[in-house]
Structures are given as structure tokens and as C-alpha cells.
Structure 1
Amino acid sequence: MNIERRRRGRGFLGRAMAIGIAVLSLAVAQSSTAAGRPSTSAPVPSVAAATPPMGWASWNTYAAAINADAIRTQVDAIVAGGLKSAGYQYVDIDEGWWQGTRDAAGDITVDSADWPGGMGAVVDYIHSKGLKAGIYTDAGRDGCGYYYPTGRPAAPGSGSEGHYDQDFLQFSRWGFDLVKVDWCGGDHEGLDARSTYQAISDSIGRATASTGRPLLLSICDWGRQAPWNWAPGMSTLWRDSDDLIIWGQSPSMDHVLANFDAAMHPDAQSPGHYNDPDMLVVGLPGFTAAQNRTHMSLWAISGAPLLAGNNIATMSGTPSRARQPEVLAIDQDALGRQGVKVAEDQEGRQVYSKVLAGSGRRAVVALNRTDSAGVIDVRFADLGLADTAAVRDVWGATDLGSMTTSYRVTVPAHQAVLLTVAGAEKPGAGTRVAAVTGQQSGRCLDIDNHATANGTQAQLWDCNGQDNQRWTRTAGQQFTVYGGTKCLDAMNAGTTAGTPVVIWDCNGQRNQQWSVNSDGTIRGAQSGLCLDASQAGTANGTKLILWTCGAGDNQLWHLN
């Protein structure tokens, strides 16, 4: 995904108001007659989100043509359609609620014809139904409506830059529970995302201290400045990619898969902090029932926010998919983990595993990206489980029985099968380690000069605890570094002594899987060879290779 695709998407906005995608957008709105008025409804408790936020967002159904009547219609449908009882909480007002107007004091004003009683009144209505309210603004001076067509005239000044304390305090006084802060103005102004969003987070903290009402922060720089590296310390969720669909076009599985891939930053995610691959396109025109199931399966295995974007009041067939309790339970699992790829025996036929709360429990997606149906083997060892496990078809709500070693399933082209697997934990799987230390050298498994290029050979170096020495042992028997983005890898799937041990994009293949053994060796699953400090070297810079397992201390390692 690139910025040009997103920009073209905004250019199509005016053509297709009927298309809806749930962009997790939260729109800031205000009354011209009641600026800053506290919401009069009973406060809805708002705490750090222990599980990924669920709800509905206005952008892809309405674009900028939103008003209080449209929001109330969707609120009523969320309640009547059973989505509220299934856990969908947030009603997020996106782009278009505000056209950049302020009063003499600098407070936001809105059109009273669109928002009778002001924004506090629409928040009161949302809260009266037991739901939470979300609002939207931009980090820059001018919001997205200034740069891209939105169905309304260009709106200069619709960003919060220069008014952070004032605007976030006003949102909190109106009663909003969540704010999405977009990046159109910030991007065009060339702002630094990390420092800008830190200032926004600090401002939200001051607003909360004043009103006692927390605002969850949703960061939306589209992954442009690697928010997974810094956003967990200042926000609840952050976008990792561009918009999921181009406005004016039908949803595409290619775009769903691209956003799913872009959000794979498992070490950044934990309870209260979530990678956001963008809103659901479930239920939009042009998506089949099978595509909806695959899309929901991928977001659930990711532990992603679930923000619907279709027209809830007119949808048909969507409720059962959106409310399937076992699917939602996977997404909302208390551990807050993100699923990771653990196998890809054939290109495009992949297995993803998510560790669930409770010993020996996994959610699994068998994903077929190819153009033809194919068999995918779900090996229990790849999931970090012992040889025998019970398998359940989640969408079919059917127990498939106890299996030995693996479960084989045929997956249609461009679809996924969602399973749960329960068994005994395999010792040593899923272990987070700070360092891998050579017994002979006393030095650490290291990537030279923090390099991230595929093919960079691993080496020994003085232990220092920096990110190029921090390794995670995954349930899929991988050693990952740099937040799970790179895996320890036998170069070119080599199986001969002397094969360089390098880092590479994690792909779940056997040359990236390693057994940690009681004798202190680390063996390549594909080669059967041992991780070895070449020529029994102990100096800084000694390269690591595969070698025939022997009795040398240069093949013994400690996981600290």
C-alpha cells in the first residue's frame, strides 16, 4: 500500500456514498450554541481497552455527509440488530462533522442544522443506549477534507494543530470516549509523527485530569513512520497501513491481505495496545459470504479492532457473521496476542497461530492465497503443542475430534479456515528470551550494527541488551528479532555444514525453525545441523553458521 493509492481513494469519495467500509475514525463535532458544554447523560465508564475495541464507524457509509440523524439511525440499528449485545460498543463519528469553524475564543463550532443541540446532544443519545462515542480530528492544521474530496466543500482549518489542549478538553467535556487523530495535515506539513502524537497523548492526559473522563487515542499515520515502534507507549491503537479500500471501488481480498500483512507486528501488541489494519469491509457490496468469513478470520487471529463500516440499518446476512461468538472470543482473548505465521510448506498456503488464554489453547488460520484449492497441514509442533490435540471448526461450531501430530484441511482458493486447537504445551515453546549467549564465548547472538536487511549474517558480540540482541522464541519454533519482523534463518534453506545463519523476513518455513535441546544445542529443524560459532571463534564479529552437531562448547547456548 502506498500513499498514492490512498490519495486516489479520497479522490473518488463523492461518487459512491453507498459503499461502506468501517474505518476506525472518530469525528470531533461541536455545537455552535453550546461550545464546551459537558454531556448531561450519566457518564459511561471509559478505561484503557483491555481487549481490542469493537464498534461501528461512519466514514465508508456516509463519507463526510453525516449528521445527528444518520448517527442516531445507526445507533438504533446496532442495538436492535444484536451487535451491542455481542460486544460492539463504539459509535465513531468520522470525517465531515466539522468544517473547521471556531468561535472568537477558538472553540470548535458546528452547524446546528446538522447537529441540533450540539455534539454533546449526540453523545448523550449514544450513551443513553449503553454505547460509547468516538470523535475524529487531524494532527495538522488542515484535515483530510482540505486535501481530498469528501462529499463536502474543502474545509480549511479542520485540524487540531495549535489547539491540542483546547480541542481534546472540549471533546472530553462533550463526553466522547475515544478520539481518532488522522495524519493528512501532518503528512502534508512534514511533521514528525512520534513527537506530534506524543504531544497529542500528553494533551489528552491533561484533558482527562481536568474532566475525569479518559479518551482512548487512535493514531492514524497509516504506518508511514513505523508507529508500532513507539505508539504502544502513548495510544490504544495505531494504523499500520493505508485505507483498506479505495473510495468508489468495491472491497478487494488483495487489499484485505495487504493490510493483514502490514499489521504483523506481534511484539508491539499487548492488552490495551493494538495494531490496527483498518476497519472491516464485512457486509459491503461486492464481498461474498466466503470473503466476509475469511476477512473476519484474519482480523480475529490478529487480535485487531473490529469496527464495522457498512450500513447497519440496511444490512442483510451480516449479523450472524459479525456476531459469531467463537470468532469474537478469539479476537477478544484476554492475552491480547497477535497471531503469527508458523508454517508455509507451499508458497501461498500458510498457517497462522494465536496463543489464547489458558494452557495449550491456540486459534489457527489455514490461509490459501493461491488460485486453486489446496491441502494445508496444521502441525501441532508448529503451534508449540504436543503430538495429540483436539481440533474444532470455529465457523461451523463443530468439534472435529482428537488428532495425532497434525490436522490436514483442504482450503478453497483465496479463502481461510478458522480453527481452535487444544492440547498440551510443548516445553520451551512461546518463550520470550532477552539474549542467546554462547557458552564458550560468553558473547551474545547479535545482528551487526542493528542491520535489518535480509541476508545479514548473525554473529557474536558483547552482550548489551539492545534490540539487535533481543530474541523471542515463538510457538512456531522461530527465533525472532526487531519486534518479530525478522527471523533467524538458514541461508537459502541450506542443509550443508557451513551454511550461513542469517536474518530474513519471517515466513514460517522449516529453515526458520529451531529446536532448543536439553544438551544446550540449538538445531535447525530442516537441516538437523547445530547453530555454531564458526571455527570455534570467541571474538566480537565471529560469524554463526550451521555445522554438524558435535561436542564443542561453540555449539552450546544459554537462553537468558
Structure 2
Amino acid sequence: MASLVSAVVVVEPLAGRSASPGLAPTPPMGWNSWNRFGCDIGERLVREIADRVVESGMRDAGYTYLNLDDCWMARERDEHGRLVPDPVKFPDGLRPVADYVHERGLKFGVYADAGSKTCAGYPGSLGHEQVDARSFAEWGVDYLKYDNCNNDDSPAADRYGKMGRALRESGRQIVFSICEWGHERPWEGWGRQAGGHLWRTTRDITDSWASWTALLDLQVGLEEHSGPNGWNDPDMLEVGNGGMADHEDRAHFTMWALLNAPLIAGNDLRAMGAETKDVLLNRDLIAVNQDWGGKQGRRLRDDGEQEVWAKPMSDGSAAVVLFNRASTDREIGVTVAAVGLPSAAEYRVVDLWTKAEGVTTGELRARVPAHSVVAYRVWLM
């Protein structure tokens, strides 16, 4: 490949070209409390995070959902069988919190469980789907993450289908995130039939290189089951939580963008450093993730510790990732033909991290640092 010359190129999503109507025509983007804060949540945190989503530029980059995870509710339902927000953590309830989030141009999400109790032991929604969905609608909820702990071993399709129907009948449009961990393969059809807009394909992520790369391997072969309003979800981002080096965070974000994974950040935005902000606000990779065509990226080649991944884009270009799992730098190359582009004399290439731009006659090749990626977008000239 010809050497790349420095140039700043921002590749924006194609406006007004949604391939499908619905609540999630592109993968949801936002923030969730669990990975960084666990049960240590409350009204003040939500308000402060909402402000930082706006001030940091994340809202304008597409991060619109602010989602509470487990532990937001009281230990017991009220006398009418309704969920009650924890009176210490949320003394005024959830409606004022949702209003604060909405006033900042964001959307508000909560967590519940398709079992008798949530994973942290709070009241589950199994058998309470209708009343809980009505509460969510009354509180102004826009997104429900529905977990799978403490279930009664009945088919997941039935349990999740009941909540999906209840949400549709609630009178409010609510994105439905099926957090079933992939045990019963929701991507094969029942996830959409249950009303899901996204479905977990894996166990929970943790803040380590070994965790997210293991989850990445589980996405191979699932690409045909993902698309507008029905996305494969390998779990939330760990970018900026401190368990990985900056280059490992970049690799993690790059691969989630290529997979069309929901980009749900989980770091403390109030203490976000410049390096983390640069990762989460990489507009070129966000554009890859949010491309209206909705084609999930796939692994083209696996050479052991070196891999090549690619994703077809709706404008005819391709996103290409050279991925190095090794602990030392390695050279990785691939032909443009192998990533699916038609024959041409020359191709325009943009490095999606350095923003350097160049031309190639048919090969992409780079020395990729250890535990890192080089990501390109390639067009016919």
C-alpha cells in the first residue's frame, strides 16, 4: 500500500437513509451504570452523568440513552404490587430523574429481570409484566434492559415475550433489550418475535482484554442474524474503566463498532480522561457502527493471533480491521479483493484512528502494535 499522507477526514453517517423504521434502526448508543458503579447509584449520579453526556459531546455524537442498571428499586413492591424506586437513592421517584434526562435531549432507561428476583436480589418482573410495563411508561422510560436471573426455567421466549407484549401495550415506545445471555439463541428468531430490539449473545463482560476478546470470538457466524431493529449484543463497553491500556480500549471499541454492537459506555464520565474521550468520540468508527445498511462485520481470516475483519458499508465502501492479539507487534496484510470490493485501478484509504489518507492499488498492509488494531475505510476511486 502506498504511504498514507496526513489528512483529517470525518466520515459521517448518510443522513435520512434509514433502511427500516422502528425504535432501533441503528444500534443503540448511550451509557449504563453497571460496569463502573454496580449498585452504587442514585439521583445525583444520574443528573451528573446526564450533564456530562451533553458537555463532553457524547450526546451530539449519538450517545442518547442514559440507562440505570440493577439496584434502583426498593426490596419490596408496594401494596398494589408495583415496583418502588429506592426511597434513599431516588427520594422523588424516577419520573423527575427521567424528566431531567429528557430535558437534556437524552433518553432514559431502566433495568428489570425476567425472573422472581433481579441478579442483585431485588423484585423481579416475572408474573408482573403488565403492571411493571405500565410503571415504566408512566415514569417516562425509553429503554428496558431485561435480565435473566432467578427464572423459573420456563422457555425464555415465553418469559421475554410476555414483557415484550406488555411494553407494546403500555402506550409508550420503549426499546427492549433482551439480556438472556444467549443461552437459548435469541438471534435465531424468537428475540424478534418477543419484541426485542437487541439481544445478548454472551455472558457478562468484565474489564479485561481476555474477557472482551473471548466474547468477540462468540460473534463469529452470527452476522446474518443482525440488522435494523434487531441487533446482536456482545455486552456493554468497558472503555475507560482502567482495566486495559489505551490501545486495548481502542481495539475493544473498534471491534464493537465493526460488529454493529450497541455502543453503551460504562465509565465514570465525570472523570473521563482525554484518551478515553478520544476513543468514545471517534466519529469515523461511530459512522461504521451506525451505517444505515446495518450489515454486521465478520471475520475474514484467522491466522491465530492475527486476524482480518471487514464490514460492507451502505455507500459501497468497506471498513477493514487488522487485529493483532499477540503480545508483540506483527505485520498484517489483506487484499482489497478479499474484503469484497470490486476490481479497480486504485482505492482511496483512510486510517480511522490516525486520520491519515492515502491510495492503494489493491493491498492493505500495516505493522499492527501488540494488543491493538489498524482500522481502515476503503473506497473505489
Give the structure-2-normalised TM-score: 0.90
Mapped pair 1:60 → 2:35: yes
Task: Tell me, yes or no, if the aligned pair for 2:247 and 2:371 is still in contact at 8 Å.
Answer: no
Separation in 2, partners of 1:327, 1:125: 29
Q: Runs of 5+ in structure 2 lacking a partner?
A: 1-20
For residue 400 of structure 1, the aligned residue among 358, 371, 375 is: 358
Q: Which residue number corresponds to residue 327 of structure 2? A: 371
Separation in 2, partners of 1:410, 1:337: 27
* Equivalent position amino acid for 2:200 in 1: R
Q: Which residue number corresponds to residue 264 of structure 2? A: 307
Moved segments of 4+, more than 3 Å: none
Percent of pairs identical after alignment?
A: 34
Separation in 1, partners of 2:180, 2:208: 22
Q: Which residue number corresponds to residue 283 of structure 2? A: 325
Separation in 1, partners of 2:219, 2:124: 26
Separation in 1, partners of 2:146, 2:70: 10
- What is the CA distance between 1:412 and its match in structure 2? 1.8
Q: Which residue number corresponds to residue 127 of structure 2? A: 162
Separation in 2, partners of 1:343, 1:141: 44
Q: Which residue number corresponds to residue 130 of structure 1? A: 105
Task: Tell me, yes or no, if the aligned pair for 1:393 and 1:420 is still in contact at 8 Å.
Answer: yes
1:221-240 counterparts in 2 under 5 A? 221-229=180-188, 230-233=190-193, 234-240=195-201
RMSD, aligned CA: 1.5
Separation in 2, partners of 1:111, 1:282: 29
- What is the CA distance between 1:191 and its match in structure 2? 2.5
Q: Deviations over 1:433-454 (max 9, x none)?
A: xxxxxxxxxxxxxxxxxxxxxx
Q: Which residue number corresponds to residue 306 of structure 2? A: 349
Q: Which residue number corresponds to residue 278 of structure 1? A: 235
1:474-489 counterparts in 2 under 5 A? none
Q: Which residue number corresponds to residue 89 of structure 2? A: 114
- What is the CA distance between 1:256 and its match in structure 2? 1.1
- Matched residue of 2:120: which SS? helix
Q: Which residue number corresponds to residue 362 of structure 1? A: 318
Mapped pair 1:219 → 2:187: no
- What is the CA distance between 1:329 and its match in structure 2? 0.5
Greater relative CO, 1 or 2 (CA 8 Å, sep 6+): 2
Q: How many residues align?
A: 355
Mapped pair 1:241 → 2:202: yes
Q: Deviations over 1:262-292 (max 9, x none)?
A: 2331111111211111111111113211111
Separation in 2, partners of 1:292, 1:65: 24
Task: Tell me, yes or no, if the aligned pair for 2:350 and 2:376 is still in contact at 8 Å.
Answer: yes
Separation in 2, partners of 1:384, 1:65: 47
For residue 54 of structure 2, the aligned residue among 71, 79, 95 is: 79
Q: Which residue number corresponds to residue 199 of structure 1? A: 162
- What is the CA distance between 1:71 and its match in structure 2? 0.8
- What is the CA distance between 1:241 and its match in structure 2? 0.7
Separation in 1, partners of 2:196, 2:130: 17
Q: Deviations over 1:508-551 (max 9, x none)?
A: xxxxxxxxxxxxxxxxxxxxxxxxxxxxxxxxxxxxxxxxxxxx
Separation in 2, partners of 1:278, 1:398: 31
* Equivalent position amino acid for 1:226 in 2: R
- What is the CA distance between 1:408 and its match in structure 2? 1.4
- Matched residue of 2:23: which SS? coil
* Equivalent position amino acid for 2:148 in 1: W
Task: Tell me, yes or no, if the aligned pair for 2:130 and 2:166 is still in contact at 8 Å.
Answer: yes
Separation in 1, partners of 2:93, 2:209: 39
- What is the CA distance between 1:379 and its match in structure 2? 1.1
Give the structure-1-normalised TM-score: 0.62
Task: Tell me, yes or no, if the aligned pair for 1:101 and 1:110 is still in contact at 8 Å.
Answer: no
For residue 269 of structure 1, the aligned residue among 218, 226, 230 is: 226
Separation in 1, partners of 2:54, 2:340: 40
- Matched residue of 2:270: which SS? coil
Task: Tell me, yes or no, if the aligned pair for 2:350 and 2:377 is still in contact at 8 Å.
Answer: yes
Separation in 2, partners of 1:196, 1:333: 32
Separation in 2, partners of 1:289, 1:135: 30
Q: Deviations over 1:431-489 (max 9, x none)?
A: xxxxxxxxxxxxxxxxxxxxxxxxxxxxxxxxxxxxxxxxxxxxxxxxxxxxxxxxxxx
- What is the CA distance between 1:104 and its match in structure 2? 1.6
Task: Tell me, yes or no, if the aligned pair for 1:82 and 1:319 is still in contact at 8 Å.
Answer: no
Mapped pair 1:334 → 2:292: yes
- What is the CA distance between 1:59 and its match in structure 2? 0.9
Task: Tell me, yes or no, if the aligned pair for 2:260 and 2:289 is still in contact at 8 Å.
Answer: yes
Separation in 1, partners of 2:342, 2:132: 54
Separation in 1, partners of 2:35, 2:59: 20
- What is the CA distance between 1:305 and its match in structure 2? 0.5
Q: Deviations over 1:103-146 (max 9, x none)?
A: 22111223333213211111111101110000110001111112
Residues 313 and 375 of structure 1, relative CA distance in 2, 3 Å threshold:
same
Mapped pair 1:383 → 2:339: yes
Mapped pair 1:183 → 2:148: yes
Task: Tell me, yes or no, if the aligned pair for 2:109 and 2:142 is still in contact at 8 Å.
Answer: yes
Q: Which residue number corresponds to residue 296 of structure 1? A: 253
- Matched residue of 1:170: which SS? helix
- What is the CA distance between 1:47 and its match in structure 2? 5.0
Computing the radius of gyration from Cα coordinates, the structure with the larger value is 1
Task: Tell me, yes or no, if the aligned pair for 2:74 and 2:87 is still in contact at 8 Å.
Answer: no
Q: Deviations over 1:168-227 (max 9, x none)?
A: 1110111100101000122xx3231122111221111111xxx2x211100011111112
Q: Deviations over 1:319-347 (max 9, x none)?
A: 12111111110111111111011123x32
- What is the CA distance between 1:165 and its match in structure 2? 0.6
Separation in 2, partners of 1:68, 1:143: 20
Mapped pair 1:254 → 2:210: yes
- What is the CA distance between 1:387 and its match in structure 2? 3.7
1:69-108 counterparts in 2 under 5 A? 69-108=44-83
Q: Which residue number corresponds to residue 120 of structure 2? A: 145
Q: Deviations over 1:44-98 (max 9, x none)?
A: xx95111111111011222112111111111111111111111110000110101
Task: Tell me, yes or no, if the aligned pair for 2:74 and 2:83 is still in contact at 8 Å.
Answer: no
Separation in 1, partners of 2:86, 2:28: 29
- Matched residue of 2:211: which SS? helix
